[in-house]
């Protein structure tokens, strides 16, 4: 097997083990920063991928992640946040990781070679037409990830590949290929480091842009969050107050009236006659708050459409 970029040794690795602890840590930090910069070159592909995912989700499809090893952990970290942060239903997200649930306790290497397990996972999740699968692999040749993408594509799903090596096998059948051309690792082959960092950033960017397309973000506010704990319920109150200009007490009352739905509460503050009327407006705007506020006569160009003020998400 020819040496790939993810298996090569970083140019600054010579003598790493005999450097001072401070010098070692500085090199490790700099290598992470270098790796993060690789994401910039992937921005056009990430933008296309986000449109693909948003289209599938808008039409009732699901989003699946398929990966092994540290790439699988990056996938899990992104996928598990989507329901809480953006209100995407848990039944709309599928996580396919080599080794299954055991991977969270023992990240063994063997399962990443098991193409049969990958095929079984895609079939069990019923990934197919209308869905989208993201396959992630630093090398771009991990058998589990490649097989999962191939099976998903053959079943009619849209496919996105994320890898850190140019010309990766994972890219060959993907609808969208996202190349994160990170430098070699300081610890050769330890892709949990630079490659994993770049994957995490790219996945965060991809899912966040998707959420923006779906109307789940207004300015920098996660207006479609699931407020299921004290911290998030408080955040919801502060968001409604910040965007509407209402007091915290009024914001809390409006949230109670809306059943905890932030966008509905904001539209009630903006003059919607009822929760039903607010929901109907949002249906007409594709769940996007800014045009919904415009429909109620508020200036959509202002940061705060209701009062034209800047409100911070801080406790008063």
Cα angle 225, 230, 233; round to 5: 35
pLDDT digits (tens, 9 = 90+) for 44-67: 999 999 999 999 999 999 999 999
- Known active-site residue 81: yes
- Known active-site residue 112: yes
Task: Point out the catalytic residue in the list 7, 81, 181, 257.
Answer: 81
Structure-token match 């992630």, residue found: 136
Mean pLDDT, rounded, for 18-29 = 92
Task: Point out the catalytic residue in the list 3, 14, 34, 112.
Answer: 112
User: Which position has the higher pLDDT, 75 or 5?
Assistant: 75
What's the mean per-residue pLDDT of the chain? 90
Mean pLDDT, rounded, for 209-223 = 96
* 261 pLDDT above the threshold of 70: yes
pLDDT digits (tens, 9 = 90+) for 143-168: 999 999 999 999 999 999 999 999 99
Q: What is the model's pLDDT at position 297? A: 85
Mean pLDDT, rounded, for 268-288 = 94
pLDDT digits (tens, 9 = 90+) for 79-111: 999 999 999 999 999 999 998 877 777 766 678
Domain 22-213 has CATH 3.40.50.10490: yes
For the chain, the domains span 22-213, 215-316
- From CA 99, how far away is CA 105, in angstroms rounded? 10
Counting beta carbons within 10 angstroms of the beta carbon of residue 167, is it exposed (0 to 12), middle (13 to 18) or buried (19 or more)? exposed
Rg of the chain over Cα atoms, rounded to whole angstroms, equals 22
* 191 pLDDT above the threshold of 90: no
At 93 the three-state DSSP class reads: strand
For the domain made up of 215-316, the CATH class stated in words is mainly alpha
* 218 pLDDT above the threshold of 50: yes
- From CA 268, how far away is CA 304, in angstroms rounded? 15
* 313 pLDDT above the threshold of 70: no
């Amino acid at each position: 097997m020819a040496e790939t970029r993810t298996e090569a040794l970083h140019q600054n690795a010579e003598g790493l083990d005999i450097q001072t602890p401070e010098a070692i840590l500085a090199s490790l930090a700099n290598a992470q920063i270098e790796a993060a910069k690789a994401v910039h070159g992937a921005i056009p592909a990430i933008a296309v991928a986000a449109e693909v995912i948003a289209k599938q989700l808008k039409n009732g499809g699901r989003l699946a992640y398929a990966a092994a090893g540290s790439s699988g952990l990056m996938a899990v970290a992104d996928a598990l946040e989507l329901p809480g942060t953006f209100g995407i239903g848990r039944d709309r997200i599928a996580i396919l990781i080599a080794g299954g649930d055991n991977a969270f306790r023992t990240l063994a290497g063997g399962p990443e070679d098991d193409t049969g397990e990958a095929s079984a996972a895609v079939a069990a999740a019923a990934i197919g037409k209308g869905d989208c699968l993201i396959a992630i692999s630093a090398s771009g040749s991990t058998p589990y990830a490649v097989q999962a993408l191939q099976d998903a594509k053959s079943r009619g799903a849209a496919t996105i590949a994320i890898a850190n090596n140019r010309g990766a096998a994972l890219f060959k059948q993907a609808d969208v290929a996202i190349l994160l051309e990170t430098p070699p690792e300081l610890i050769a082959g330890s892709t949990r480091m630079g490659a994993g960092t770049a994957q995490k950033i790219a996945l965060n960017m991809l899912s966040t842009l998707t959420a923006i397309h779906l109307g789940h973000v207004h300015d920098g506010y996660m207006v479609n969050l699931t407020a299921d704990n004290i911290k998030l319920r408080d955040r919801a109150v502060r968001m409604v107050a910040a965007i509407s200009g209402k007091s915290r007490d009024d914001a809390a009352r409006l949230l109670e009236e809306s059943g905890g739905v932030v966008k509905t509460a904001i539209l009630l503050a903006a003059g919607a006659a009822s929760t039903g009327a607010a929901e109907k407006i949002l249906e007409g705007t594709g769940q996007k708050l800014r045009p919904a506020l415009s429909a109620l006569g508020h200036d959509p160009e202002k940061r705060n459409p209701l009062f034209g003020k800047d409100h911070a998400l801080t406790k008063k």
